[in-house]
Structure 1
Amino acid sequence: MFTDRSPGRGPDPEAESLLIRAAMEQAAEGAPALPDLVPVALAQGRRRRTRARAAIGAGVTGVVALGVFGAVLPMWSSGGGTQPAQTWSAASQTTTTTVTPPPSPAATARPVPTPVHIEPTEGETSMADLPPAERIRREQFQQQAAALFDELLPRQLGPVRPVDLAVSRYQGGRNGNTFPVIFSVRPQGDPGDAPADPPCRDTPLKGLECRTAMLPGGIKARLMTAEGNSRGTQTITGVNLAFAYGDSRVRISVDGDDTSMVSAPVTAEQLLAVAEDPRFLELVAYADGRPMEEKEHTVRGG
């Protein structure tokens, strides 16, 4: 299609626009109608927006979960094991270390006290007469008990040493004084084999003071301070604590020195502190379950 232009004149824009539109209509004549793309574009936009929100929500949920569980899950070591002393938190990112507590006094190495040797009297037995295995067992028990007494009882009592005559015998000493110590866990006899304990009350005329106390586990104990031997105007005193445990009768006592007439440098309250110590009660429980003394009985006709 051509247009007639006069020489020397420029193109007519309006006429060219009409010619182009007519040409396009002629070319598209007979072709199918084009689909409406607007609804399709809107649907695709909504789907993309939904997927984007879901992805953002999943990411936030993952961060929250990491913050919650990361605070309590242990870190894994490269060797496949766990490091229970270290934890990681997404919030704080701090590392904590469990410090091992220092050993207790009972676990600290102590020098083994040399036993005191006492020759048995006529008709009396000694730990030396026991079978070797039983003698060693009792000696080890004495060593543990002596170390505990040496730690818990006053320093004025001096070093506490086991006595090789019997498992219940010990001895303290300082400045030339000797203080007998008894720690006995004796199986109780049948009813009537041993006399019942007298009522716990003070007897001033005999220098006797008695009171009761409660040990851990609801154990009722009897504490006594009593005068012992006397020489002229001098009198020495000792302390005694007794209670029942399991199938045994337990006694711990400290007496004065009869030779130098010096009273026991231990009070009833200090003896009670020993009986309240869990380590002492562990020794009592062991001796109650594995007796090392004869069953108590009453000597009749004596």
Structure 2
Amino acid sequence: MKFSVKLIAAALCAAMLCVPALAAASATGAGAYVPNPQYTVISGTVAHQKDGGLLMSTSTGEPTEDYILWTEGVMILDAVSGEPVDAKSIKDGSTVYAWLGAQTAVTMSLPPQVTPELLLVNVPADYKVPQYDVIVRATVIMAGIPHYSGMDITLSDGTAYQVWEDAQITPYLTRNRVTYQDLLPGTRVLMWADDKGQASKVIVFPYEYKGSISLDGYGRLYVNSVVAAEPSALRRPYGDERLYVPIRAVAEAAGYDVSWDKEFGVTVKDGSDILFQICPDTKLAHGPAAADRHSLAGPCLIANGVTYLEAGDLAHLLGMFYGG
């Protein structure tokens, strides 16, 4: 059985000789990066149901729509203080805001039933509700004043904020110390800010990744906030939004080891442990990092001796965040 697998892998690797070179003209350029919103926000007034859910009548949209919101395991926070709130204390007729993630399931029942990721409650009238979102771009900024600096961040919906070091920055449900320097791509935040985008308070939620891959406004690729590749090294070979990045440059910048195996193609290791392997011209990666997906969004490509993977695929295999 092992022998036949090696034969198949060798045959797949041989196909690299037939992979066309990637067009250099397809590289991303200045201003090419457009974030993808991670959340949908719904708001309205709620009333408790006998089964434990909240019936929400939305205040936006024509016509208005009802939802059943389930609160078990949901983060419920006060819109003003950011403090946790018990679902039983939510008053009937009060206004709430619910954030639904891209993977949030909405039932086909009437009214639809959903378990949001976050609920903000106790919202005063005419109050500017803080924004819950994922940071997709973060750049340290210096004001030219000693001991005064901050972070320029962009959220997944494209909203930009400045978080200076004197802003109130606290972690969610822990006493760990966090600063503006912890506002890295992939970080979920709840942001209170003025109309000019100056943040006064930020709640930082636990980081779920091993690092981040991001682009700046000029198309440069960053790995953990350090430039890893210039725009000329990146490719969009299919004429769509899929960005292909060099495997070795990204993986090594993230601290992994990259080599070539004549039977199984590109091999990425974490120390002595194989993270994943993939052959050019295939959409199947092998190894522990690929255990939860059967194929990738696009094939592994090779040009001028450099192997490429779609940025989201490589980020997933490396356990990193990519928001674009």
Q: Relative contact order (alpha carbons < 8 A, sep ≥ 6): 1 or 2 greater? A: 2
Name the TM-score, length of structure 2 as normaliser: 0.24
Higher strand share: 2
Name the TM-score, length of structure 1 as normaliser: 0.25
Higher helix share: 1
- Max radius of gyration: which structure? 1
